[in-house]
């Protein structure tokens, strides 16, 4: 299962910029990888791990802004079509069950 976190956070003040940066750093510390600037993805092992991760995200939400959390099965994730510089990119492969960083 995959978790995607998409967000649109205000950055009009220094405080808002700090909160947005803190949230992005939180996602990176939690093992998410940046897919786009406001889109982060992470693989997790099943529904229980997803629910635990969702609770951690909820407890670290910034004061303002919109955050969307989506879940995808491995099969749905493999079906994502990616374009970069108007060229179709290869399909992403799901990682093995155990990935060491």
- Nearest to 6, CA basis, from 50, 59, 65: 65
The answer to whether position 70 is within a domain reads yes
The whole domain housing 52 covers: 2-88
The answer to whether position 96 is within a domain reads no
The CATH code of the domain that includes 33 is: 3.30.70.240
Q: What pLDDT shows up at residue 75?
A: 86
User: Total structural domains in the chain?
Assistant: 1
Q: How far apart are CA 65 and CA 27, in angstroms?
A: 16
Identify the band that residue 2 occupies on the pLDDT scale cut at 50, 70 and 90: very high
**Residue 71 CB neighbours (<10 A):** 15
Residue with tokens 């919109």: 66
The answer to whether position 95 is within a domain reads no
Is the pTM for the entire model greater than 0.85? no
Q: What pLDDT shows up at residue 21?
A: 96
Q: What pLDDT shows up at residue 98?
A: 47
**CA–CA distance from 8 to each of 31, 64, 99 (Å)?**
20, 9, 30
The answer to whether position 94 is within a domain reads no
Condensed to tens digits (0 to 9), the pLDDT of residues 43-98 reads 999 899 999 999 999 999 999 999 999 999 888 888 888 787 877 776 666 555 54
The answer to whether position 98 is within a domain reads no
């Amino acid at each position: 299962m995959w978790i995607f976190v998409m967000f649109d956070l205000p950055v009009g003040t220094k405080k808002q910029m700090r909160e947005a940066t803190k949230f992005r750093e939180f996602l990176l510390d939690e093992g998410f990888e940046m897919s786009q600037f406001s889109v982060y993805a992470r693989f997790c092992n099943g529904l229980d791990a997803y629910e635990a991760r969702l609770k951690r995200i909820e407890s670290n939400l910034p004061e303002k802004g919109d955050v969307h959390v989506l879940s995808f099965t491995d099969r749905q994730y493999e079906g994502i079509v990616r374009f970069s510089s108007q060229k179709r990119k290869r399909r992403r492969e799901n990682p093995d069950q155990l990935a060491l960083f």
